[in-house]
Amino acid sequence: MSNFSVGFRQHNGVQILDLHGELDAHTAPELEAALQKCLQNGQYNILINGRDLDYISSAGLGVFMAYVEEIREKGGDLKIAELKPGVYNVFDLLGFPLLFDILPSEAEALERFARGERPMLPSS
Amino acid sequence: MIRNVTIPSLQQTEMLLQQRRTRLFLLLPFFGTGYILSVVFHLLTWKSGTPPSTWVRLFYYDGLMLITYGALWLLLWGETHQRGTSPTRTFWGLTVASLLFLGLGYLVLRIGRPSGDLALSAPVTGFAYETGVPLTWAAVVQMNVLALLEALLAFWLLLQLRGLVLFKRTRQSERSWRWMLITMAGSALLVDLFQPDEFVLALLLSLPVGLMLRNAFRVAWILYLPFRQKLLNLGLTVLATGALSGTLAFTSGPAYEYVWHYSPALSSFVNLSLAFGILYLVTSFLSLLFHLPTTGAFQRKVDELAALHALMQMVSQVFDVERLTDTIVRLPVETGVAQTAWLALPDFQTTFRPRIVAAYNLPAGQTPEALVDVEALYQEVATRRQFLLLEQALTDHRVRARPEHGIGSLLVVPLVARNELLGVLFVTREVAYGFEQDEVEAITVFATQAALALDNARLLHERLEKERLARELAIARDVQRRLLPQQLPRLPGLQIVASSVPAQEVGGDYYDLLRLDDHRLAFIVADVAGKGTSAAFYMAELQGIFRALSPLNPDPVVFLTQANRALFETLARKAFISAVYGVFDVAKGTVTLARAGHPPPILLRPHAPPRLLRLQGLGLGLDRGELFRQTLEPCTLSLQAGDRLLLYTDGLIESRNDRGEAFGYDRLLQTLEAHAQDTAASLHRHLLETLAQFTGHPAYDDDLTLVIFQWQEVPMLQETRDHQDVQTQTAGASTSTTQPSQPSQQAP
């Protein structure tokens, strides 16, 4: 029934998660489990690739919020790349581009990882 | 018909004879008359001195005997029939009866003789050698009395032993007992009729003797005697055997001639009966002797199994899963069938591996996992669906226990109910080869019972959990319903239509309107990420914030910043709220609003394309405060007559049709353009209708909230107040779960 899946890749010490399908309240636990696994393996540089992500609901967005703080505390970052316009719009509405590095291409995201850049957060 | 009435069936006769009065009435006359006639017969023979003709003897005398002693048998049968027999009483009774008989017999033999040897030959004792005619009156008396006494003893003996032979009776055993009696009586009669020689006699007696042997080995009652009883009965069988042997010696010795001349059939029957009595006593003695050593073990086993069965009933009465698992491991140990027991259930929630939920009587400081490879054994039993018995547990590679842990043999039994494996029970014994076949069976049966109980408890638990959840959701739904405005406030010049439909029982959408003073109205439309009970609580919190803060700080930036600060502290990390907040000022004809991560409001002016107000702003609860305040972008609009402001939640945009397409902004804006001139109420209705047509089903995927404001310029406040009473429409309940929408409307 689930039409959501997560693929794992590695590139230069960055853990890349490829999201496929629709991320909503029902499928959010799968992404949570994937992120949990990354943290357990000590990987804190995580790139979410949304090339094949067709839909995201607010519950899906909640997953990113739930983990980003811990990841940044550990010195890593959670970046998002290659979102489809419709999905990006949902991120954008809530102001996620202010909280996360959301980049058009994976290469740019990896570059930012390499340079160690993170979004400026006045509150943190 | 008539035959049915006149000849009662065997059962009817039996029933009839079971009533004592009927029995005595029917049988006593037969017996009494028959007996007196037989005495008269012998007296006549004695007086005449000649034997009766063969025909008289065969048809008159033997017929008379059959009826007389048949009646006597039935009389005694009726007296002993219903009494339960205890072997002790039977043996004791046999001994006493035999001794009594011997005493009486001795006295009878002395009649008419002053003293001397009792074992005199027939002519001397008083019968004619050739004809068997009694020679003295004493002989007549003696033969009649002795025959009666012998018959009484033999019948009584058979009826007493019957209770023991037919202990745990079956159709088979009943039949074999009956046949024994019939063949005994039959052969006795044949002996009487033909007076056969020894060879034929032996042949004739082989059948009853065979059946006697067969019945003599029916000694099942011995198994259930406790040790002391067995010992007591052992002594009593010796005693009774002695007494019966003495009696047999008496009946086939000194008394033989008398009874033989009275009736050869009776004499043979009596001797056969006594022989059977002795045979039975001897087999009883031997069986008792052989069973003595096993009594303790047998008794223990019976106790164990009885306890296990009794406690199984208890298992089925426990409904609490935790208590049930405890009981399941305790019972085999407490009944002594096992030394140690533990129970592994599959963990469906997290690990998907068997988990030990209860253990009993483990060796000190040990865990089941330390003793055996629980998972490997569990998997094997799970696939086999049958018990696994490790007779020499320590030699198995999956057993980690050392000899001092006292795990000699291990029995692993699956708990299967409704064809589903619910768990696995492990029981151990200290010694290798410790589990007997019947114990394995008992534990297997116990496991089935336990599985059923576990299944029941689980179903009950699930049902309770479901009910609890349903109650919780009902409460949350109720809370949510109360949080939405029950009645819309009124302000001159402003028309409001609002509806909110939760997709599930409890949704995450919230809207509210609050009249701040006579010319200002604060409004909020929000969407809590996630649904269910937690969403209802966050909504409640937001409502509190809105109702408390907006009168004090109606300015959107101030209000939303404060709301964000409050919510950031209390919301779960992954929870956030998107909202649009604003204030209408009817005196100035303006609206000031700001967007916190919410889908942009739409401004629809009469002669212009709809405009999405894409104001910058983070969702509530995402950021601690600084970034939120910096990015928040308020906007003030001067309103013109006919302006409509649309506020909605993402349910409107993201509702999808069967092909998976979302309604989207484009369709929304198209619909608005098509109805650009509509009033708020009509626009509201058209939008929802268009959406329903698009999705093709009345139910929405997500919560759907739609609030539309329409501004109608009013030149003077005074004037509107005069009109107010005329056109008032009160808002009804603004949410509904049964109807897709229920707009609330207020007109000035």
CATH 3.60.40.10 residue window(s) in chain B = 488-746
- Asked if this assembly's ipTM is beyond 0.95, the reply is no
Please provide the average confidence, as pLDDT, over all residues in chain A.
87
Distance CA B573, CA B464 (A): 31
Per-residue model confidence (pLDDT) at position B272: 92
pLDDT in tens, B576-606: 999 999 999 999 999 999 999 999 999 999 8
Indicate whether A122 belongs to any domain. no
Distances from the Cα of B416 to the Cα of B385, B387, B419, angstroms: 8, 11, 6
A124 domain-assigned: no
> What residues of B are in contact with residue A122 (Cβ under 8 Å)?
626-627, 630
How would residue B731 be classed by pLDDT, with cut points 50, 70 and 90? very low
Residue intervals of chain B classified under CATH 3.30.450.40 are 298-461
Tell me the nearest-neighbour CA distance from A100 into chain B, angstroms.
Answer: 11
Task: Give the tens place of pLDDT for each residue, B349-398.
Answer: 666 688 888 999 888 888 888 889 998 999 899 888 899 999 988 888 99
Distance CA B360, CA B588 (A): 80
* pLDDT at site B737: 32
Write out B259-278 in H/E/C secondary structure: HHHHCHHHHHHHHHHHHHHH
**In the block, residue with structure tokens 């993201």:** B654
d(CA B411, CA A121): 63
Interchain contact B601–A (C-beta under 8 A): no
Residue B427 CA, chain-centre distance (Å), reads 22
Q: What is the pLDDT of residue B6?
A: 53
B198-207, B229-238, B282-291, B553-562: least confident range: B198-207
Report the helix count and the strand count for chain B, using DSSP H and E: 25, 16
Q: Does B623 touch chain A (CB under 8 A)?
A: yes
**pLDDT, tens only, B60-72:** 888 888 889 999 9
Nearest to B150 by CA among B278, B282, B268, B279: B268
Q: What is the pLDDT of residue B736?
A: 34
CA distance linking residue B118 with residue B257, whole number of Å = 12
pLDDT of residue B613: 92
Domain, as residue range, for A53: 4-115
The lowest-confidence range among B46-50, B214-218, B731-735 is B731-735
Check whether B301 has a pLDDT greater than 80. Answer: no
Are residues B499 and B744 in contact, defined by beta-carbon separation less than 8 angstroms?
A: yes
Q: What is the pLDDT of residues A33-61, one digit of tens each?
A: 899 889 888 889 999 999 999 988 888 88
Residues of A in contact with B618 (CB under 8 A): 94-95, 98-99
How much is the average pLDDT of B174-203?
Answer: 86
Helix, strand or coil, per DSSP, at residue A11: strand
Min distance B596 CA to chain A CA atoms (Å): 7
**Neighboring chain B residues of A85 at a CB cutoff of 8 Å:** none
Contact residues on chain A for B654, CB-CB shorter than 8 A: 55, 57
Q: CA-based angle B345:B346:B347, to the nearest 5? A: 115
Specify the CATH architecture of the domain B298-461. Answer: 2-Layer Sandwich (3.30)
Q: Say yes or no for a CB contact (<8 Å) between B625 and A123.
A: yes
Between positions 95 and 114 of A, the ones with CB within 8 A of B are: 95-96, 98-99
In angstroms, the CA B55 to CA B51 distance is 11
pLDDT at B652 over 90: no
Q: Is A40 on the interface with B (CB under 8 A)?
A: no
Q: What residues contact residue A103 under an 8 Å CB cut-off, 6+ apart?
A: A79, A80, A81, A82, A109, A112
**Residue-level pLDDT at B404:** 86
Tell me whether residue A73 is in a domain: yes
> Which token pair is A67?
């983990």
| pLDDT grade for B721, boundaries at 50, 70 and 90 | very low
> If you classify domain B488-746 with CATH, what class do you get?
alpha beta
- Higher-pLDDT residue of B642 and B168 is B642
Among B352, B533, B564, B627, most A C-beta atoms within 10 A, so best to mutate, is B627
pLDDT tens digits, B396-438: 899 888 888 888 999 999 999 888 888 999 999 988 888 888 8
Taking residues B291-307, report their average pLDDT.
Answer: 77
Q: What is the pLDDT of residue B722?
A: 43
- Please tell me the predicted confidence (pLDDT) of residue B241: 94
The highest-confidence range among A108-122, B120-134, B324-338, B514-528, by mean pLDDT, is B514-528
The residue count of chain A comes to: 124
What's the length of chain B? 748
What residue of B is the nearest CA neighbor of A121?
B627
User: Is residue A79 included in any domain, yes or no?
Assistant: yes
Q: Is residue A74 assigned to a domain?
A: yes
Q: Which range, A75-79, B63-67, B122-126, B735-739, is most confident?
A: A75-79
Q: Dihedral (C-alpha) B232, B236, B239, B242: value to the nearest 10 degrees?
A: -130
Q: What is the pTM of this model?
A: 0.55
CA-nearest of B184, B190, B189 to B212 is: B184
Which residues in chain A have their CB less than 8 angstroms from residue B626's CB?
A: 122-123
Give the chain A residue whose CA is nearest to the CA of B626: A123
Return the percentage of chain B with pLDDT > 70, whole number. Answer: 88
Q: pLDDT band for B536, please (50, 70, 90 cuts).
A: confident
Chain A contact for B576 (CB, 8 A cutoff): yes
Distance, in angstroms, between A11 CA and closest chain B CA?
28
What's the pLDDT at B5?
Answer: 47
**Residue B574 to residue A69, Cβ atoms within 8 A:** no
Residue B22 or residue B497, greater confidence:
B497
Is some CB atom of chain B closer than 8 A to the CB atom of A57?
yes
Question: Which residue among A59, A69, A121 places its CB closest to the CB of B530?
Answer: A59
For testing contact with chain B, the best of A3, A65, A96 (most B CBs within 10 A): A65
Beta strands in B441-576 (DSSP E): 494-501, 509-515, 520-528
pLDDT digits (tens, 9 = 90+) for B85-123: 788 888 999 999 999 999 998 888 887 665 555 555 444
Number of domains in chain A: 1
A33/B contact by beta carbon, under 8 A: no
Q: Which tens digits make up the pLDDT trace of B255-289?
A: 888 888 888 888 889 999 999 999 999 999 999 99
Q: Measured between alpha carbons, how far is residue A48 from residues A7, A76, B524, B593, B747 in Å? A: 10, 13, 33, 34, 50
Which among B381, B383, B361 is positioned nearest to B371, based on CA atoms?
A: B361
Partner residues linked to B574 by β-bridges: none
Q: Is A3 on the interface with B (CB under 8 A)?
A: no
pLDDT of residue B190: 86
- What's the confidence (pLDDT) of residue B498? 93
Please check whether residue A17 lies inside any domain of the structure: yes
- Mean pLDDT score of chain B: 83
User: Is residue B509 within 8 angstroms of chain A, CB to CB?
Assistant: no
CA atoms of B272 and B204, how far apart (whole Å): 12
The answer to whether the CB atoms of A123 and B624 lie below 8 A apart is: yes
**CATH number of the domain encompassing residue A28:** 3.30.750.24
| Residue of B508, B574, B623 lying closest to A99 (CB–CB) | B623
Query: Closest Cα to residue B668, out of B721, B706, B615, B618?
Result: B706
The residue of chain B with its CA nearest to that of A119 is B627
Residue that wins the pLDDT comparison between B1 and A101: A101
Contact between B533 and B594 (Cβ < 8 Å): no
Alpha helix ranges (H) inside B217-359: 227-252, 256-262, 264-291, 295-315, 321-334
Q: Which residues of B touch A84 (CB under 8 A)?
A: none
Q: Looking at CA atoms only, how far is residue A93 from chain B in angstroms? A: 5
| More reliable by pLDDT, B563 or B336 | B563
Rg value, chain A, Cα: 13
Mean pLDDT of the region B307-317:
70
Looking at the predicted structure, is the pLDDT value of residue B180 above 90? Answer: yes
Of A65, A66, A95, the CB nearest to B631: A95
B514-528 pLDDT, tens digit each: 999 989 999 999 998
